[in-house]
Structure 1
Amino acid sequence: MVTLSRTPSHPHERNPGTPFDLSAVEGALVNRSAIERRAATLPTRRTVKKEWQAAWLLHAITTIDLTTLSGDDTPGTVRRLCAKARQPLRPELMEALGIAGRPIATGAVCVYHEMVPTAVEALKGTGIPVAAVSTGFPAGLNPHALKLKEIEASVAAGAAEIDIVISRHHVLTGNWKALYDEVRDFREACGPAHMKAILAVGELGTLKNVMRASLVCMQAGSDFIKTSTGKESVNATLQNSLVMVRAIREFYEQTGYKVGFKPAGGIRTAKQALDWLILMKEELGEEWMQPHLFRIGASALLNDIERQLEHFAYGRYASMQYQPLG
């Protein structure tokens, strides 16, 4: 039998944002060689095995933003995804793991605006939030006024979380005040919906830009900072994730506000999910491993986690064709 972890019943105070502080942004430094060494050794220095691994993987399921962002998405596709979010593991597997009857679900379901009403209806009464990608996702090059209307429309349709994309050119040209103003407008348009700011780290050029963009988005009131859209050539890596979580730590130490982190894009295996959970535990502590402060944006990850749990329960792997989302 494995034990499911529990999310704290009292959520942290939401980050309201702070006044723009250019000196803090321009003063941010990144030791690239140290980041590279830390990221390279992290997967090899820490590991979890057997029943501990099974427990960590069960917890990882609760942090997944189960995602479909394809041009051929249909209401049927989304309803199928929502069904998987509601019951990520088959009943017989849960019984074999000794957790039959225990509630377990993914952190959210993430879709385009067009599919928000379908997802909201499919998840009604479950408490699983719907996240909508917005602001001209993935390129972020729509007119600013249209981006705000897109956010407002998704919130009105029932999205409880909004994943916005920043204008990368503000970062690449060093126009930090413009980035702050843009993200601040997005936060105001989100209203009660929590906002995840997608940096698209693979398009920002340097780790220093990743650090500075992270700080600006948090100053502007982001509830989460997120690595990628999943559409770039380089998405979530341990290197850029390490820079971002250290920016979160720095912001927390300076302001007392806790900001969440979401790696997304390219995280497909259970081993990778464990690497990111270990990163959060070692860099920020156990609270930042919980779904209210940590999410993994993924579509295929849940399949591999289920296969690993099957191996733990039965001593063998099932073919991918037998996975519900395979």
Structure 2
Amino acid sequence: MMPPRTPGTPLDCDSFKPVNTPAAKRRAASMVARRALKGQYQAAWLLNAIACMDLTTLAGDDTPDRVRRLCAKARRPLSDEIVVGLGLNAMPQTGAVCVYPTMVAPAVKALEGSGIPVASVATGFPAGLMPLDLRLAEIRFAVDQGAQEIDIVITRAHVLGGDWAALYDEVAAMRAACGAAHLKAILATGDLVTLSNVYAASQVAMQAGADFIKTSTGKEGVNATLPVGLIMCRAIRDYQAASGHIVGFKPAGGMKTAKDALNWQVLMREELGRAWLRPELFRLGASSMLADIERQLSHHVTGRYAAQHRHALA
């Protein structure tokens, strides 16, 4: 179950902090280098990654049939052989399925009874360069179709120009349009130039009521990186200390391997603690990563690597 909606707080630009970029990069690199997860421990962390995954398709040639296949994979992400070999009592499921607004209805129908929520991108994804009233209408459409989570994109120009009031008002309006659906604010960090901008944008999005902050659309030249994730996690920690409100985190884009899934979970454990290693507060925005996770778990069970085609995404 998702936590209660984040109420937000008034805009406070005094909360912004400058970021020491070289230090952030060193910290991110050393953090994952010190953790060596092997054997049953690695398998447990990979199973947790599946539970925290937003299985995603955001392609121009998406169809209802493709979405239905993806939803079937979300329901049964592992083969029966792996589930039995791991000694699991039940088939794991992914944290959510993420699609375009027009694909929400097929996804909701395909996931009926599973308890897996449908997330929808909105607000002119991925660029967000549409009039605000149209972006808000897209949110309302996705919610009406049954989306329980909305992944919005911010106007990067507000960050690059330092117009924090405009960014705050924009995200607050999007939060209101979501109604009961949870809002994930995509910061498109690859476009924000500096880590100081990433920290400030994270603070403003949370102050405006974002339930999650998310790194990327997956369409930027640079997507989720560990230094960016480090700074966003510290913004979450600082915001919780100042307001008492808990906000989730979602890295997305560029994550393809089981090792990536482990590294991002190590970051969460080190910076925010075990409470964030659950789908209510942590999501991995990925698709191809699941095939490699399944391959690694198959190796753990059988002692050999299966051919890649044995673990098709959908």
- The bucket for the TM-score relative to the shorter chain is over 0.9
> 1:246 matched to which residue of 2?
234
> 1:160 matched to which residue of 2?
148
Aligned mate of 2:86, from 78, 86, 97 = 97
* Cα RMSD after superposing both structures: 1.0
Measure, in 1, the Cα distance between the counterparts of 2:106 and 2:281.
Answer: 26
Q: Mapping of 1:127-146 within 5 angstroms?
A: 127-146=115-134
Measure, in 2, the Cα distance between the counterparts of 1:164 and 1:194.
Answer: 10
| Matching residue's letter, 1:22 | C
Give how far 1:91 is off: 1.0
| Matching residue's letter, 1:214 | S
Structure 1 residue matching 2:285: 3-state secondary structure: strand
Indicate yes or no: 2:24 matched with 1:14.
Answer: no
| Matching residue's letter, 1:228 | S
Aligned mate of 2:66, from 77, 82, 85 = 77
> 1:147 matched to which residue of 2?
135
Equivalenced residue count is: 314
| Matching residue's letter, 1:48 | L
Structure 1 residue matching 2:93: 3-state secondary structure: coil
Contact map agreement 2:19 2:196 (CA 8 A) in 1: yes
Which stretch has the larger CA shift, 144-153 or 316-325?
A: 316-325
| Matching residue's letter, 1:91 | D
Measure, in 2, the Cα distance between the counterparts of 1:294 and 1:311.
Answer: 26
| Matching residue's letter, 1:140 | G
> 1:171 matched to which residue of 2?
159
Q: Which runs of 5+ in 2 are unaligned?
A: none
Aligned mate of 1:44, from 18, 27, 33 = 33
Contact map agreement 1:14 1:257 (CA 8 A) in 2: no
**Partner deviation per Cα, 1:63-99 (whole Å, 9 max, x = no partner):** 0000000001111100000000001101121111111
Measure, in 2, the Cα distance between the counterparts of 1:109 and 1:36.
Answer: 31
| Matching residue's letter, 1:170 | H
Give how far 1:257 is off: 0.6
> 2:77 matched to which residue of 1?
88
Q: Mapping of 1:189-208 within 5 angstroms?
A: 189-208=177-196
> 2:257 matched to which residue of 1?
269
Measure, in 2, the Cα distance between the counterparts of 1:103 and 1:17.
Answer: 36
Indicate yes or no: 2:47 matched with 1:67.
Answer: no
Contact map agreement 2:82 2:301 (CA 8 A) in 1: yes
Measure, in 2, the Cα distance between the counterparts of 1:50 and 1:22.
Answer: 46
Measure, in 2, the Cα distance between the counterparts of 1:70 and 1:13.
Answer: 31
| Matching residue's letter, 1:137 | F
| Matching residue's letter, 1:36 | K
| Matching residue's letter, 2:206 | M
| Matching residue's letter, 1:77 | R
Measure, in 1, the Cα distance between the counterparts of 2:288 and 2:110.
Answer: 20
| Matching residue's letter, 1:16 | P
Indicate yes or no: 2:23 matched with 1:34.
Answer: yes
Give how far 1:39 is off: 1.2
Give how far 1:147 is off: 0.3
Measure, in 1, the Cα distance between the counterparts of 2:257 and 2:13.
Answer: 39
Give how far 1:103 is off: 4.2
Measure, in 2, the Cα distance between the counterparts of 1:90 and 1:231.
Answer: 31
Aligned mate of 2:208, from 202, 216, 220 = 220
Measure, in 1, the Cα distance between the counterparts of 2:241 and 2:58.
Answer: 35
> 2:170 matched to which residue of 1?
182
Indicate yes or no: 2:270 matched with 1:293.
Answer: no
**Partner deviation per Cα, 1:74-132 (whole Å, 9 max, x = no partner):** 11100000000001101121111111x41410000000011000000000011100000
Measure, in 2, the Cα distance between the counterparts of 1:13 and 1:127.
Answer: 17
The normalised TM-score by structure 2 is: 0.98
Structure 1 residue matching 2:292: 3-state secondary structure: helix
Which stretch has the larger CA shift, 212-221 or 40-49?
A: 40-49
Indicate yes or no: 2:97 matched with 1:109.
Answer: yes
Contact map agreement 1:13 1:258 (CA 8 A) in 2: no
Measure, in 1, the Cα distance between the counterparts of 2:308 and 2:247.
Answer: 36
| Matching residue's letter, 1:24 | S
Q: Which runs of 5+ in 1 are unaligned?
A: 1-8
Structure 2 residue matching 1:163: 3-state secondary structure: strand
Measure, in 2, the Cα distance between the counterparts of 1:302 and 1:36.
Answer: 27
Measure, in 1, the Cα distance between the counterparts of 2:208 and 2:111.
Answer: 30
Contact map agreement 2:189 2:198 (CA 8 A) in 1: yes
